[in-house]
Chains A and B, each alone.
Chain A
C-alpha cells in the first residue's frame, strides 16, 4: 500500500495579477522520485516554492503527510521538507561543516545544544556524500558538484519526509549530473526535482509531471509522458523518442526546428516573472 507524502490540489499562484501557475493537481507517494519538467518560465520553480512554503499566498490545498502546509509553522514545514536550491554562494567564508550543520536548525529549540549524536549525524551525512575529508574546507572553494553534495548532506541532516531539488544538475558537467542524481536516488528518500534535461529525468525518475505556461500537461511514467507528439507541442520543437541503449529508458532528441512562433510570446511573459 502506498502512502501519500505530498498532495497538491488545484494549486494556482499569481504575482501582481499575472497568473504563473493555475489549477495544478498532483501527488507524490513515499519512495517515489518525481521530476517536474517543462520549458523555461513554465512555472516549475514557482510551483516548487508553493510546495515548500516559500510562497504562502497560493490558492488550493497543499498537504504534507496529511497536514495542510498553511496550518503548520515554517519550522514544522522544514522538519518535513528539505530543499536543495540552485547554485548558492556564500558572502562569508563558510566551511562545508558550517553548511551541513544548518540541517539541525529546524530540530533545535532556543535552549538546545549540539550533542555528540548531532556531530555523529553530521559526519555520517558528509560520509554519505563522500566529502567527510573536506568538511573543514571553505564552501566557496568546492567545485559545483561538491557544493551540491554538501547541500544534499545538509538535507540528510534535516531528516525530511520529502527532498525537493531545484534544478540540481544546472552548471554541472555530464559526470557530476549523473553523480548527483545517483546520490539522491541512493538516499532512498521521497524526491521531487525540477530538471531541464529530459533524458536525465527519463533515466532517474519514476514519474514525470509536465507543465507549460503554468498548466499541467501530463503526469505519468516517463514512457507515457515522453511521447513525440506531446513534447513537440510543449517545447515547440520537432522531437524524436527512442530507447536509451544502456538503460532502456526513453531517449529524447530534438531536431532544433522551431515549430510554433507563439513560443516567443509565452517565454516573454515568463521572463517578466523571473525578473
Chain B
C-alpha cells in the first residue's frame, strides 16, 4: 500500500472534516435542510428557530461527535502502538464496564440528581476500573503486555456482572435509562459536555504527539526501545493513564461507543503508516468524521426515533472485522 505524504494526508483529511461538519448539520428531524444551513452560515437564518436548531442543537452534537470519535480513535491508536497489539482497544481496560457500573449505581441517587450524577458516576467508575487494571499489571512487573489485556478482560467481566445484577434487581425506569446510556448516544451534546471533553482531547493529543518518537521506539520491541534510551515501563504507564482519562471522559458523556478505537487505527495505518505523530493526527480526524456520520445515521434512519450510536458502531465494526479475517 502506497503511503501518503504528511502534507497530502493533512490536506485531504482537513477537507474531509470541513465537508463532513457542514454537510452533517443539514441532516435531522427538524426541517432544516442543507440550503437553510448554508444560508444561516453565509448570511444569517431566516427564522429564529433555525438559529436555535443549528447553533444550539446540531452544531454541539456535530462537535461532540467529532471530539468523541477523535478521542476514541486516538486512544485506540495509542493502545495498539503501546502494547504492540493490533487488537488493543481503550475498552479493553474494562473502562466501559467500570463506567457502566458507576452509571448503574447512580440510579440509587434521588431522581432530580441523576441527570448530573450519571456522567460523574460513570467517569469515576471508568477510572476505578482502569486503576485496578494498572495496579494488577504494575504489581506483576509488566513482564508481558498481554497481562494488561488479560487484566482488562477480567475487570470487564467482573464489573459487567455487577452491573447486570443491579439492573436485574433495580426498578424498570432507571434500568432502561442506564441501558440506553450504555448503548451510546450523543444526545447529551451541550456546552458542558464540550467543555469537559475538548480540553482532555486536546491535552492528551498534544502529550501523545510530544511522546511520539518514544512511542515509535516501542513498535519494534521493548528491548530495542530500551537500547534507544526509552524508559519503557514509565512510558507505557503514562500513555495508559492518558488513554484512560480520555476514554473515561468520553464514555461518561456519550456512553459505550465500541469499535471506533479498534477499527479506525486499523484502516488509517494502511494509508499513513505507523509513525505515531502522523498516525495519531490522521486517526483522530478520520475517527471524528466517522462518528459524525454514524450519528447522522442514528438520528435519521428510523425517522423520529434515535438508534443508539454504539449499536451502529458495533455492527459496522463487527462486519469490518469479519471482512479483515477473510483477507487473513
Q: Which residues of A contact B (CB under 8 A)?
A: 52-54, 73-79, 81-83, 85, 88, 90-95, 98-99, 101-106, 108, 110-111, 136, 158
Q: Is the CB of A92 within 8 A of B229?
A: no
Q: Is the CB of B226 within 8 A of A74?
A: yes
CA distance A54 to B223 in the complex (A): 8
Q: A85-B223, A98-B216, A105-B216 are in contact. Are A74 and B230 (CB under 8 A)?
A: yes
Q: Which residue of A lies closest to B275 (CB)?
A: A98
- Kindly identify which residue among B86, B214, B220, B231 contacts A88, using a CB–CB cutoff of 8 Å: B220
Q: Is the CB of A106 within 8 A of B273?
A: no
B323 to chain A, nearest CB (A): 18
CA distance A274 to B129 in the complex (A): 36
- Kindly identify which residue among A93, A98, A106 contacts B228, using a CB–CB cutoff of 8 Å: A106
Q: Is the CB of B223 within 8 A of A95?
A: no
- Kindly identify which residue among B210, B213, B223, B229 contacts A74, using a CB–CB cutoff of 8 Å: B229
Whether B217 is near chain A, meaning CB under 8 Å from some CB there, is yes
Write out the residue numbers on chain B whose beta carbons fall within 8 Å of the beta carbon of A79. 229
CA distance A74 to B231 in the complex (A): 7
Q: Which residue of B lies closest to A86 (CB)?
A: B223
Q: Which residues of B contact A (CB under 8 A)?
A: 3, 81, 84-86, 210-211, 213-214, 216-217, 219-221, 223-224, 226-231, 269, 273-275
Q: Is the CB of B219 within 8 A of A75?
A: no
CA distance A76 to B214 in the complex (A): 14
Q: Which residue of B lies closest to A80 (CB)?
A: B229
Q: Is the CB of B228 within 8 A of A105?
A: yes
Write out the residue numbers on chain A whose beta carbons fall within 8 Å of the beta carbon of B85. 91
Q: List 6 A-B contacts (CB under 8 A).
A: A78-B228, A85-B223, A92-B219, A98-B274, A102-B217, A103-B228
CA distance A81 to B229 in the complex (A): 10
Q: A98-B219, A98-B274 are in contact. Are A92 and B228 (CB under 8 A)?
A: no
Which secondary structure dominates chain B's binding surface?
A: loop
**Which residue among B214, B219, B220, B275 has the maximum number of chain A CB atoms within 10 Å of its CB?**
B220
Q: A98-B273, A98-B275, A104-B213 are in contact. Are A90 and B219 (CB under 8 A)?
A: yes
**Which residue among B223, B224, B227, B275 has the maximum number of chain A CB atoms within 10 Å of its CB?**
B227
Write out the residue numbers on chain B whose beta carbons fall within 8 Å of the beta carbon of A88. 220-221, 224
- Kindly identify which residue among A81, A85, A91 contacts B224, using a CB–CB cutoff of 8 Å: A85
Write out the residue numbers on chain A whose beta carbons fall within 8 Å of the beta carbon of B213. 104-105, 108
Q: A88-B221, A91-B85, A93-B274 are in contact. Are A102 and B216 (CB under 8 A)?
A: yes
Write out the residue numbers on chain B whose beta carbons fall within 8 Å of the beta carbon of A95. 273
Q: Is the CB of A111 within 8 A of B273?
A: no
Q: Is the CB of B227 within 8 A of A52?
A: yes
Q: Is the CB of A92 within 8 A of B210?
A: no
Q: Is the CB of A54 within 8 A of B226?
A: yes
CA distance A82 to B3 in the complex (A): 29
A185 to chain B, nearest CB (A): 21
Q: A92-B86, A111-B210 are in contact. Are A85 and B227 (CB under 8 A)?
A: yes
Q: Is the CB of A83 within 8 A of B274?
A: no
Q: A93-B274, A105-B213, A108-B213 are in contact. Are A99 and B220 (CB under 8 A)?
A: yes
**Which residue among A75, A92, A94, A98 has the maximum number of chain B CB atoms within 10 Å of its CB?**
A92
Of all A-B residue pairs in the complex, the 9 with the closest CB atoms, nearest first, are A78-B229, A75-B229, A83-B227, A106-B229, A105-B228, A110-B210, A74-B229, A91-B84, A105-B213
Q: A102-B217, A111-B210 are in contact. Are A92 and B224 (CB under 8 A)?
A: no
Write out the residue numbers on chain B whose beta carbons fall within 8 Å of the beta carbon of A103. 228
Q: Which residue of A lies closest to B216 (CB)?
A: A102
**Which residue among A74, A88, A99, A158 has the maximum number of chain B CB atoms within 10 Å of its CB?**
A74
Q: Is the CB of A94 within 8 A of B228?
A: no
Write out the residue numbers on chain A whose beta carbons fall within 8 Å of the beta carbon of B269. 92-93
Q: Is the CB of A91 within 8 A of B86?
A: yes
Q: A91-B85, A98-B273, A98-B274 are in contact. Are A105 and B226 (CB under 8 A)?
A: no
Q: A92-B84, A95-B273, A98-B275 are in contact. Are A105 and B214 (CB under 8 A)?
A: yes
A71 to chain B, nearest CB (A): 15
Extra contacts besides A78-B229, A92-B84 (17): CB < 8 Å: A74-B226, A75-B230, A77-B229, A82-B227, A85-B221, A85-B227, A90-B220, A91-B84, A93-B269, A93-B274, A99-B220, A102-B220, A102-B224, A104-B213, A105-B228, A105-B229, A105-B230
